[in-house]
Amino acid sequence: MSNEASSGQKLSTTTVSSVAVHAGNASIVIAVLKCGKWVKLQLAESTPNLLEIGSNQDETKKLLQDHELLLTKLKITFIRVLCSGEKTNKQSMC
């Protein structure tokens, strides 16, 4: 995502919201950023690290289950965030 408009003018990036989701022992925080017409998602924090693989098979299975649950919850949450954003855009156009 470029921060420049077609005229070469720099556009500012604004944090629209933050989304936090918890699943088991895992949590993730994602920032929703807006720059011009673009919306960007940026990972702000994740516990444990998303690249963590575990020290044994049981720990690995638990991490995988938590990450899959996080992903499911994130999808549901982002649908709500996007729908909310669309409603806001429609209201501001009136």
Sign of CA pseudo-dihedral 86, 91, 92, 94? positive
Q: Which of 84, 78, 65 is nearest to 20 (CA)?
A: 78
Supply the pLDDT for residue 39.
84
Q: What distance in Å separates the CA atoms of residue 72 and residue 38, rounded to the nearest whole number?
A: 24
Which stretches of the chain score pLDDT less than 50? 93-94
Lookup: tokens for 47: 């516990």
Give tens-digit pLDDT for 15-34: 988 889 998 888 999 998 99
Supply the pLDDT for residue 42.
93
Does the bond joining 48 to the residue before it have cis omega, within 30 degrees of 0? yes
Supply the pLDDT for residue 7.
62
Supply the pLDDT for residue 94.
38
DSSP assigned state of 8: S
